[in-house]
Amino acid sequence: MAGNLEGGEASGYGSLTYPDGSKYDGDLDDGKPSGYGSLVHPDGSKYDGDFKDGKPSGYGSMVYPDGSKYEGDFIAGRYDGTGTYEVPNCLKYDGGFKNGKYDGSGTITSSDGFKYVGEFKDGWYFGRGTLTFPDGSIYDGDFKQGKYDGQGTLTHPDGSTYAGAFKDGKYEG
């Protein structure tokens, strides 16, 4: 540990090396990351941003070895608030997070042509939303745990539609 010592604990700007090999450079308070800093893990993942009580809290960015990244709000080390999560050549999500999962309003777009705009809960499509498929089909309506559930309209590429009730992802009635 390097930094100014106050009461036996590092405070001010300093560096820490953890037993697992992770390295932190930035603001310290009572020996813990607090304020702005950078944390690099042995696997190469890196967090740059705000810390509180030793954990990412506030605004920051996390980049993983596979190239995926998150930029946005953190609370106690988890994605929480508003942010963008992106996996190269796969998907991009912009919107709300709670406890590390998609939650609230958001948009998710996949590289293979799927796009969902609407509400999320615990990582699932949940509530009102619009799902567009690569073939041009569009479902606009209610979702529950990622499936059509409730009132909605499914429009096929040929223009035919079904409007009505859905249950567990299937037409009802």
pLDDT tens by residue, 140-157: 999 999 999 999 999 999
| pLDDT tens digits, 3-18 | 454 445 678 999 999 9
Q: What is the pLDDT of residues 52-102, one digit of tens each?
A: 999 999 999 999 999 999 999 999 999 999 999 999 999 999 999 999 999
Boundaries of every domain in the chain: 1-67, 89-173
Residue 86 is predicted with a pLDDT of: 98
Both tokens assigned to 72: 């946005």
Q: What is the pLDDT of residue 34?
A: 96
Give the Cα separation of 90 and 26 in Å (integer).
33
The second-level CATH assignment, the architecture, of 89-173 is: Single Sheet (2.20)
pLDDT tens string 19-28:
999 999 999 9
Global pTM value: 0.89
What does the DSSP assignment read for 25-83?
EEEEETTEEEEEEEEE-TTS-EEEEEEETTEEEEEEEEE-TTS-EEEEEEETTEEEEEE
CB proximity list for 146: less than 8 A, separation 6 or greater: 124, 125, 126
Q: Do domains 1-67 and 89-173 have the same CATH topology?
A: yes
The fold adopted by the segment(s) 1-67 is 2.20.110
